[in-house]
Chain A
Amino acid sequence: MSLTLELRGIRKRREARWVLDGVTLSIGRGVVYALLGESGTGKSTLLRCTQGLETIDEGEVKVGGRALCSSGVLDESVRRRIGLVFQQHHLFAHRTALENVVEAPVHVGKMPPAEARSRAVELLERLGIAHRRDARPADLSGGESQRVAIARAMAMGPEVLLLDEPTSALDPARRKDVARLLRGLAAEGTALLVATHDLPFAKEVADRAGLLGQGRLLGEGRVEELVPGG
């Protein structure tokens, strides 16, 4: 199994505290990896560091064997292979759902607008949200907004997709839908790193899991093994 995402010895200091203190993990193609842990254990920070939104003090992030950061400079071409879905989604408030998805392929990927548009519509259809394509983010429900955010990240064709607490904006009944949706993405070959403290959801979606505590990976394995009785 080829390793798509590799994190090696990630350390991140915030003021005097190590919020990440040597995290090492790797995820292969088509694998859903759940990052478990209480709030404030550094799950979000790890995702942000993995995507290059925050700098790390020590360690290395690699995608398909290529380093995200070489001699202190962020390699945008590597970064583009990692998609990130924020907990609050952060959809572009002045654009419609469809425009949110089209934006990066056209202006970053230099894709012809017509092509980007038809691919975006396709993505929205697959995620079951195409009927809301002309809605503004303010008019979307939490679940709808999340699907648009996933479509927006997937439109750049990333090999790795990072999701921060994907079930926090949903009512429990929708968990299954999201889990199915993410499994579908994994089935097409994407590596998924999902930060969550929602154990039922983690059990449903993850192939493997890692338990984060005080900036360290306390253990890896199946969700049931890591959190007995959870």
Chain B
Amino acid sequence: MRRAPCDNGSAVRKAAIALVVALLVLGLPSLAAAGLGDVRARGVLRWGGDLQGGEPYVSQRPDGSLVGFEVDLARAIAAKLGVREQFVQNDWSTLLASLERGTFDVILNGFEITDERVGRVAFTRPYYVFAERLTARKGETRFGADLSQLRGRRVGTLGASLAYDTLSAAGADVVLYEGQEEPYADLAAGRTDAVLLDDIIAQRYATRHAELATLGDVREGVYAMAARLGDRDLVTAIDGALGELIASGELRAILARSGIDDPREAKLESYGHPAGDMLRGLRRDGHGAAIAESAAPRATSLGPGHLWLFLQGAGVTLLVSVLAMAIAVPLGLLLALLRTHGPRWLGAIATGYVEVYRGTPVLLQLYVLYYGLAPVVRVGALTAAIVGLGMNYAAYEAETHRAGILAVPPGQMEAARALGMSVPLALRRIVVPQALRFAMPNVTSDFIALLKDSSLVSVITVVELTKRMTITAVDVRSWLVPGLLCGALYFAMSFPLARLARRLEAR
């Protein structure tokens, strides 16, 4: 259909539509405050979770579809609310911060009800009762499934979890992981003494390692969905939906489909609100109740203790960076010399090394070195961090040194050869000392970059400055002050180096 060149009617209609759209868009923030109204208006319940948590919670099939009991639960609840559900991927340790920012409407991802969280989010009634299960290597006799025996032991778990709080209170040496497979792999490799995680995680992941065995359960906990404090109406609506699913047996059927239904789940019917009362009830019911009660309350405001922890984190950052650089500089020089003066085949190997290490993410290299090679080489986390970063940076240093070597005039090598020096001797005495001088400013800049890249080693459980910051931020419920403190410490370490680099450049 051809349009009339000047169709006033359609222009007015378009303006009206634009106005309505603009009002809707502008009106969104105010609607966001009323959670249920927003969800209904949108027709979508957005729920946040982390696919890295994997099965049975929520995981992704190769074809892109999502599976897991939480997916089934989200669908069932959305259906009761008369809306669709939509999954939003989010790092598990920052679920709470993202909820508050409004990235999604609810958290639904093995999110435990804890004292700390009760004041910060609005919990629904629980949808799953779990036990914190202690796993160790077979034949472990030094300790049992008793929190009081874990003081000083290296125990792995996930960050910002109930298990982490429990272990911290018990005085254990907690080792933090990002995913659920890694703690058990490390335990099997002998890098930790035990793992404390939710029983459904232990069932799935610990049993893959023949050398591991369950020591027992230390306490119970519950998963519930969590909404922003202001969205009580949404919580009430979800509570209603959950109540119906529990009463009708649908929830138990969903759990059974994922193979995680057990007699403990009968308690779901009696667990209601308010959350605080229920927590007290849980403590009375749980196996480790006495210990949980006696544990010292955790600090929730920034204090001098945190500063000390931050300084320790900065110390780890500096240690990892300095030692990694101590590997990277000589190894890089060797690679550069092989490329510029070595036999062709060795030069090709050096080139291959540089291209592979520069062409793949350092994060991947750390994973492969620490977890992938664990069955072959069992190195500690700190060693793996230093070696991993060192080998990665060696590739960059190789290029820096190569530029330095090529910057030395060829006449220097010729003069040395004319005096009867062999090539290795000429390199050592004449070319390399001058090349290092050319490379120094860039090596210093690379060191500053390494100082910051060293935060990546937290994925292999090394608690350095940035990891300390994220842990503290979760503890004190604030990212601003810990973030500024963390940044100040990085700056205090890198600024003198930057000055040094400028001085070297000026020479």
Instruction: Give the B-binding residues of A (Cβ under 8 A).
Output: 51, 53, 76, 79-80, 83-84, 86, 88, 90-94, 103-104, 107-109, 152-153, 156
Q: Are B420 and A79 in contact (CB under 8 A)?
A: yes
A152 near B420 (CB under 8 angstroms)?
no
Residues of B within 8 A of A83 (CB): 418
Rounded to whole Å, the gap between the CB of B96 and the closest CB of chain A is 58
Q: Which positions 421-437 of chain B face chain A at CB distance < 8 Å?
A: 421-422, 425, 429-430, 433-434, 437
Nearest residue in A to B410 (C-beta to C-beta)? A90
**Chain A residues near B421 (CB-CB < 8 A):** 104, 107-108
15 additional A-B residue pairs with CB within 8 Å, beyond A90-B411, A108-B419: A53-B418, A80-B420, A83-B418, A86-B414, A86-B418, A90-B415, A91-B415, A92-B415, A92-B416, A93-B409, A103-B430, A107-B425, A108-B420, A108-B421, A109-B420
Which 9 pairs from chain A and chain B are nearest by CB?
Answer: A90-B411, A90-B415, A104-B419, A84-B418, A80-B420, A108-B420, A94-B434, A94-B433, A92-B430
Decide: B414 and A94 in contact? CB cutoff 8 A.
no
> Whole-angstrom distance from the CB of A154 to the nearest CB of chain B?
11
B408 to chain A, nearest CB (A): 8
The 8 Å CB contact of B411, one of A88, A108, A109, is A88
- Interface residue? B417 (CB, 8 A): yes
Which residues of chain B from 264 to 278 have a CB within 8 Å of any chain A CB?
none
Taking CB atoms, residues of chain A closer than 8 Å to B433 are 94
Q: Is residue B340 contacting chain A, with contact meaning CB distance below 8 A?
A: no
Asked whether B434 lies within 8 Å of A93 as measured between CB atoms, the reply is yes
Q: Annotate B362-405 by CB proximity to A: 1 below 8 A, 0 otherwise.
A: 00000000000000000000000000000000000000000000
How many of chain B's residues have a CB under 8 angstroms from any CB in A? 18
Which chain B residues in 188-242 approach chain A with CB under 8 Å?
A: none
Residues on A with C-beta less than 8 A from B412 are 90, 92-93
Q: Which residues of chain B have C-beta atoms less than 8 A from A91's C-beta?
A: 415
**Residues of the A chain whose Cβ atoms lie less than 8 Å from the Cβ of B419:** 103-104, 108, 152-153, 156
Q: In the assembled complex, which residues on chain B have CB atoms less than 8 Å from the CB atom of A103?
A: 419, 429-430
**Contacts A79-B420, A103-B419, A156-B420 given; does A90 touch B409 at CB 8 Å:** yes
Complex Cα–Cα for A112 and B302 (A)? 65
CA distance A209 to B236 in the complex (A): 109
In angstroms, how far is the closest chain B Cβ from the Cβ of A164?
A: 11
A-B contact pairs, 12 of them (CB 8 A): A53-B414, A76-B420, A88-B411, A90-B415, A92-B412, A92-B416, A94-B434, A103-B419, A104-B420, A104-B421, A107-B429, A108-B421
Q: How far is the CB of B315 from chain A (nearest CB, A)?
A: 36
Q: Which of B420, B422, B429 has the most C-beta atoms of chain A within 10 angstroms of its own C-beta?
A: B420
Tell me the bound Cα distance from A169 to B254 in angstroms: 92
| Closest beta carbon of chain B to A151's beta carbon, Å | 12
> In the complex, are the beta carbons of B414 and A90 less than 8 A apart?
yes
Which residues in A have their C-beta under 8 angstroms from that of B420?
A: 76, 79-80, 104, 108-109, 156
Give Cα distance in the complex from A107 to B419, angstroms.
10
CA distance A156 to B416 in the complex (A): 12
Q: Which of A51, A90, A153 has the most CB of B within 10 A?
A: A90
A190 → B minimal CB distance (Å): 16
Q: Is the CB of A94 within 8 A of B415?
A: no
In the complex, chain B residues whose CB is within 8 Å of the CB of A80: 420
In the assembled complex, the Cα of A53 lies from the Cα of B414 at a distance in Å of 7
Within the complex, what minimum Cβ distance (angstroms) separates B498 from chain A? 25
Separation of A83 and B437 alpha carbons in the complex (Å): 29
